[in-house]
């Protein structure tokens, strides 16, 4: 049978069932009105009015779009629309009841008001009940189909008896293949205790987890609190661990749409959940206007931030996306992922080093980008202390190459991904990123390209960051090494950082340094304890935490902006701005030339001295002298940079 004919047949059949239901409701209304003994004098009245009553009701249903609704997936919203349609038809029938006898003057158009009222209720019940039966039957079939053979069903406690928890409970009950059998809710709102929500009883508060878990023989707990704070998740996770429960969470349940939640996203509680950061809400109009139908080029496209920028940019429909990456494997992986996820976006992978000016010129001339996100950089602080020349070549030289080409080829926007380590830097990495910021600000004064910098702290889970290192140490049984008990850092997730980079880049007019709201700083030792706890172990008992000492170039506390930068709010609540009056272009350009020349040599002390001339606030902390070989090589004198004048802007 052709699909079109089948759909028409099914829709016609459902319409016939609706007409039958409305007819039954009409006849029952008359039967109730006359106590199941309709007098013969009233039968003519029943038969004559039957067609126009049912026709009026079905017309109202059609106006409200009820016949197009799926019976199998009826929701509360559908029920409300049915109620509105029946109410509309009842109002029409009531008006006709008053008007027709006056106009026609015949008793056969006379419908008792009692019949109209009862018909309203019965018609609503008939329509809703028929659809509910179809939905229940469909769910029963789905449960039977999904039921695993002899798989074990684990009793599960649902923590959070709010709207999200009810939706999750209903979906779990319809998914026996998940191996979870919900036995009740836990909620800290004591007013809910003892009540039944969605067919499950609220058994107690989270303080009663251990006792209730033993009573119900629960083996697992599922956190179903929408927008739970990091403190809440941390406390609940610890309580569940003490109760011997395997704890899982459904991330992003604030994104529930249409009373549905994606249960495939059930996972272990992650460190990101414990931070409890609110989701980023982009101003999609502003971001979309700068990316949609534009050619976008991203350097460092295979890195943690670069690859996520690629994913986010593709969402806004660029004309083309150019991926620049020097590591072949990383470029291959992100290109393959993007072409599968966004087949509608033309994506061009380009292998190349941002320090290779000739190759970058080829890429720019061939692609003619409108927007450039420069995420390529050396980022590991201790590694750059041992290799300061490479930090200068990549972070300063690479930025200069890409920025100069952007200016020369007429790029509309250039966004530099910077770091909080550029503020009062104590490391070579931080100092080189600060020089890159200074260079862009000076260049922006003489260019039509809008050069902006976006500065933020650490991102969770990026390659080589503290989280993967801690996980590896925990997997080996410890110890987990933390440099200092008081060391703190700002953290955000990779998607959040990437989205805010795009937001800030779209807002910039040129020359600004945008600073992202990183929330509250987190102690690294607390992060280590949380990861150990999430692994089902006890800090200092099962896994030792050992303090190894601050490494070269590291600060105990990072800063997102210098006091003189006067970071002010922007239109976006998570993006701040501080404008530093640019340095003189000729002085900056000359100083950068000298620093890059020094980077070709082998004397790290001369490189640090050059960085100190460019960034007077740079407080160099050197690695062990025994590992650094210096020479008596002389160098050109660096031009002195004047102290920056600071202005603030909104």
Average pLDDT for 76-98: 87
Q: Specify the DSSP element, H or E, that contains 351.
A: strand 347-351
648 inside domain: no
Does residue 131 belong to any structural domain of this protein? yes
Whether 531 contacts 271, CB under 8 Å: yes
Q: Does 22 have pLDDT greater than 50?
A: yes
Average pLDDT for 593-602: 90
Q: What is the mean pLDDT of residues 36-47?
A: 77
pLDDT on residue 564 = 44
Tell me which of 90-94, 519-523, 585-589 is least confident. Answer: 519-523
pLDDT tens track for 549-577? 776 656 566 555 444 445 555 555 556 66
Number of other residues whose CB lies within 10 A of the CB of residue 396: 26
In this structure, are 131 and 210 located in the same domain? no
pLDDT at 14: 83
329 domain residue, yes or no: yes
The least confident of 22-31, 99-108, 174-183, 536-545 is 99-108
Model confidence at 477, pLDDT cuts 50, 70, 90, reads confident
Report, as an integer, the average pLDDT of 510-531: 74
Q: Exposed, middle or buried: residue 95 (CB in 10 Å: 0-12, 13-18, 19+)? A: exposed
* pLDDT at 629 (0 to 100): 39
Q: Is residue 511 part of a domain?
A: yes
Total number of domains constituting the chain: 3
Q: Is 36 found in the same domain as 139?
A: yes
140 and 163 both lie in a single domain:
no
Local confidence band at 258 (pLDDT 50, 70, 90 cut-offs): very low
* 105-119, 175-189, 441-455, 534-548: which is most confident: 441-455
Res. 330 pLDDT band, cuts 50 70 90:
very high
- The answer for residues whose C-beta is within 8 angstroms of residue 164's C-beta and 6 or more apart is 224, 225, 226, 253, 254, 256, 261
Looking at residue 107, what is its pLDDT? 58
Structure tokens at 54: 């049912």
Is the domain of 82 the same as that of 206?
no
Q: What is the chain's mean pLDDT, rounded? A: 79
257 and 352: one domain? no
Statement to judge: residues 429 and 508 lie in one domain: yes
Mean pLDDT over 418-443 rounds to 89
* pLDDT classification of 392: cutoffs 50, 70, 90: very high
**Spatial contact of 463 and 303, defined as CB atoms under 8 Å apart:** yes
Q: What pLDDT score was predicted for residue 621?
A: 57
**Which residue blocks in 570-643 are alpha helix, DSSP H?**
585-599, 604-614
What per-residue confidence (pLDDT) applies to 558? 57
Question: 265-279, 359-373, 522-536 — which one is most confidently predicted on average?
Answer: 359-373
310 with 183, same domain: the answer is no
Checking if the pLDDT of 19 tops 80, the result is yes
pLDDT digits (tens, 9 = 90+) for 139-194: 777 666 656 555 567 888 888 887 777 777 777 776 766 777 888 888 888 888 88
For 264, other C-beta atoms within 10 Å of its C-beta total 9
The pLDDT score that the predictor gives to residue 275 is 61
Query: What pLDDT does residue 630 have?
Result: 35
Kindly report which listed range (147-161, 219-233, 251-265, 301-315) carries the lowest average pLDDT score.
251-265
Span 501-505, average pLDDT: 81
Kindly state whether residues 181 and 131 are assigned to the same domain.
Answer: no
Q: What is the CATH number of the domain that holds 344?
A: 3.40.50.720
Q: What was the pLDDT predicted at 628? A: 39
140 lies in some domain:
yes
Q: 324 pLDDT exceeds 90?
A: yes
The domain boundary residue, chosen from 94, 113, 145: 145
Q: What is the percent of the chain where pLDDT is above 90?
A: 21
Assigned domain for 525 exists: no
Are 47 and 140 in the same domain? yes
Q: Give me the mean pLDDT over the 289-316 stretch.
A: 90
**Rounded to an integer, what distance in angstroms lies between the CA atom of residue 128 and that of residue 569?**
52
Tell me the pLDDT tens digit for each residue of 599-643: 998 888 899 999 988 888 887 655 544 333 333 333 334 444 444
User: Do 452 and 580 fall within a single domain?
Assistant: yes
Q: Tell me: pLDDT of 511 over 80.
A: no
Comparing 105-109, 341-345, 641-645, the range with the smallest average pLDDT is: 641-645
Q: 318 or 556: which carries more pLDDT confidence?
A: 318
Mean pLDDT over 106-134 rounds to: 82
User: What value does the mean pLDDT take over residues 250-255?
Assistant: 52
* 447 in the same domain as 327: yes
d(CA 324, CA 197): 53
Pair 533, 470: CB distance under 8 Å: no
The pLDDT of residue 235 is above 50? yes
Q: What angle do CA 639, 642, 643 make, to 5 degrees?
A: 140
Burial label, 51 (beta-carbon count in 10 A; 0-12, 13-18, 19+): exposed
pLDDT for position 643: 40
Least confident of 20-34, 301-315, 392-406, 473-487: 473-487
pLDDT of res. 113: 83
Q: What's the pLDDT band for 354 if we cut at 50, 70, 90?
A: very high
Query: Domain containing 66: what range?
Result: 3-145
Q: Tell whether 58 is covered by a domain.
A: yes
User: What are the strands, taking DSSP E only, across 364-437?
Assistant: 371-374, 413-419
According to DSSP, the β-strands at 220-223 and 154-159 are: parallel
pTM value? 0.59
Question: In this structure, what token pair is assigned to residue 170?
Answer: 């209903």
Q: Which of 115, 145, 175 is the endpoint of a domain? A: 145
Max avg pLDDT among 31-45, 82-96, 313-327: 313-327
As annotated, the active-site residues are 421
Q: Is residue 120 part of a domain?
A: yes
Q: What's the pLDDT at 620?
A: 62
Tell me the CB-side half-sphere exposure of residue 241, using CA atoms within 13 A: 18
Q: Are residues 495 and 443 in the same domain?
A: yes
Residues 231 and 534: their CA atoms lie apart, in Å, by 14
CB atoms within 10 A of CB 550: 15
pLDDT at 634: 32
């Amino acid at each position: 049978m052709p699909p079109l004919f089948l759909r028409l047949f099914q829709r016609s059949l459902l319409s016939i069932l609706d007409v039958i239901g409305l007819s039954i409701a009409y006849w029952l209304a008359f039967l109730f009105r006359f106590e199941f003994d309709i007098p013969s004098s009233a039968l003519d009245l029943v038969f004559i009015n039957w067609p126009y009553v049912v026709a009026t009701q079905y017309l109202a249903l059609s106006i409200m779009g009820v016949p197009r609704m799926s019976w199998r997936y009826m929701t509360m919203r559908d029920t409300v629309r049915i109620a509105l349609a029946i109410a509309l038809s009842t109002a029409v029938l009531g008006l006709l009841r008053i008007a027709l006898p006056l106009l026609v003057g015949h008793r056969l158009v006379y419908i008792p008001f009692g019949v109209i009222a009862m018909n309203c209720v019965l018609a609503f019940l008939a329509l809703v009940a028929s659809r509910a039966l179809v939905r229940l039957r469909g769910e029963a079939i789905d449960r039977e189909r999904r039921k695993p053979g002899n798989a074990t069903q684990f009793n599960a406690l649902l923590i959070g008896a709010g709207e999200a928890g009810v939706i999750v409970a209903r979906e779990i009950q319809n998914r026996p293949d998940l191996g979870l059998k919900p036995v009740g809710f836990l909620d800290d709102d004591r007013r809910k205790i003892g009540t039944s929500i969605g067919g499950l009883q609220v058994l107690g508060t989270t303080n009663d987890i251990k006792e209730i878990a033993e009573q119900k023989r629960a083996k697992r707990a599922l956190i179903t609190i929408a927008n739970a704070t990091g403190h809440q998740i941390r406390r609940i996770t610890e309580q569940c661990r003490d109760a011997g429960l395997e704890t899982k969470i459904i991330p992003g349940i604030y994104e529930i749409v249409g009373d549905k939640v994606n249960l495939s996203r059930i996972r272990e509680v992650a460190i990101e959940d414990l931070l409890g950061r609110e989701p980023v809400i982009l101003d999609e109009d502003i971001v979309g206007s700068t990316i949609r139908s534009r050619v976008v080029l991203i350097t460092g496209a295979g890195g943690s931030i670069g690859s996520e920028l690629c994913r986010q940019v593709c969402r806004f429909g660029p004309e083309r996306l150019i991926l620049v990456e020097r590591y072949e494997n990383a470029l291959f992986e992100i290109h393959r992922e993007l072409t599968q996820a966004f087949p509608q976006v033309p994506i061009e992978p380009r292998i190349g080093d941002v320090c290779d000016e000739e190759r970058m010129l080829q890429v720019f001339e061939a692609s003619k980008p409108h927007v450039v996100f420069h995420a390529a950089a050396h980022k590991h602080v201790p590694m750059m202390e041992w290799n300061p020349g490479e930090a200068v070549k990549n972070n300063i030289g690479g930025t200069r190459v890409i920025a100069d080409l952007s200016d020369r080829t007429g790029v509309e926007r250039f966004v530099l991904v910077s770091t909080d380590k550029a503020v009062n830097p104590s490391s070579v990495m931080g100092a080189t990123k600060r020089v890159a910021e200074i260079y862009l600000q000076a260049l922006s004064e003489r260019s039509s390209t809008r050069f902006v910098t976006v500065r933020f702290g650490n991102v969770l889970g990026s390659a080589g960051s503290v989280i993967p290192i801690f996980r590896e140490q925990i997997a080996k049984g410890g110890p987990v090494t933390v440099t200092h008990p008081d060391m703190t850092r700002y953290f955000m997730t990779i998607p959040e950082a990437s989205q805010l980079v795009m937001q800030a880049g779209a807002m910039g007019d040129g020359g600004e340094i945008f600073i992202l709201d990183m929330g509250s700083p987190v102690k690294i030792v607390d992060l280590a304890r949380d990861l150990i706890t999430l692994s089902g172990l006890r800090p200092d008992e099962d896994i030792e935490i050992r303090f190894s000492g601050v490494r070269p170039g590291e600060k105990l506390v990072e800063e997102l902006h210098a006091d003189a930068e006067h970071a002010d709010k922007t239109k976006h609540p998570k993006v701040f701005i501080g404008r530093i009056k640019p340095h003189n272009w000729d002085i900056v350009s000359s100083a950068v030339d000298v620093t890059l020349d020094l980077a070709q040599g082998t004397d790290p002390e001369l490189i640090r001295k050059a960085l100190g001339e460019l960034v007077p606030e740079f407080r160099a902390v050197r690695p062990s002298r025994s590992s650094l070989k210096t020479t008596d090589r002389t160098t050109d004198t660096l031009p002195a940079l004047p102290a920056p004048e600071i202005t603030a802007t909104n």
